Amino acid sequence: MTTTLITGANKGLGFEAARRLVAAGHTVYVGARDAERGRAAADELGARFVQLDVTDDASVQAAAKAVEADGGLDVLINNAGIETRTEDNGVPVARTVTADQMRRTFETNVFGVVRVLGAFLPLLERSAAPVVVNVSSGLASLTHLSDPDHPAHFYPGIAYPTSKTAVNMLTVQYAKAFPALRINSVEPGFTRTDLNGNTGTQTVEEGAEIIVRMAQVAPDGPTGGYFDVKGPLPW
């Protein structure tokens, strides 16, 4: 039985990925900051709940101990993320972005990944087929954002894409450091979720496809890569 933890799994892409992996036979932990929402989501899915705030060291360490006590971990999906939005559902642009907005975004999207990976690596290293999926974004691609012929080029925000580019670098460096693990970044696509004020153009079912696929990658599968549903993406 494969045991999987998904951070930020009480709604959106995390919830849908959890639903699909439960259906595939995984024992899934729904990681969530809010205990009431997390338990409700886990109950609905037939999953387990673990309280986990990726911005809090004590919360992450407690979650790791709880999962270890229940038997360990095979797959970690770093899904929890935020995108700073203005009151009119816009994004802070180069002229207006503040250091505090950058810091808040990085605390969840980047430092949260480091915090969770650090806590759960000992468990993953005991698994026969350990996998890490870092939920990134198409906006992390320097190639696409610097190409005036690519739609991503016109995204004006600063904090979110910068944080996801950093996540991609974490993927590369952790994959090199831990070659026994399969560690990859994925781009779900522009999905309708609370993160973007439900302005996305695809469903959570569509968005979760690449997350679920890479969560089930074989021990001889790719590592240190960046993928969407069509295949590898340029950094």
What positions carry a catalytic annotation? 160, 164
Closest CA to 100 of 33, 159, 55, 157: 159
> What's the one-letter identity of residue 174?
Y
Alpha helices in the chain (DSSP H): 12-23, 35-45, 57-69, 99-109, 111-124, 142-145, 159-177, 204-215
- Give the Cα separation of 223 and 71 in Å (integer): 25
191: DSSP letter: B
Pick left, alpha or beta for residue 8 (phi over 0 → left; psi -120 to 50 → alpha; otherwise beta).
Answer: left
Place of tokens 């907005």: 101
CB atoms within 10 A of CB 2: 18
SS3 of residue 138 by DSSP: helix
Phi first, then psi: what are they for 121, rounded to 5°? Answer: -55, -45
Closest CA to 23 of 206, 216, 207: 216
SS3 of residue 38 by DSSP: helix
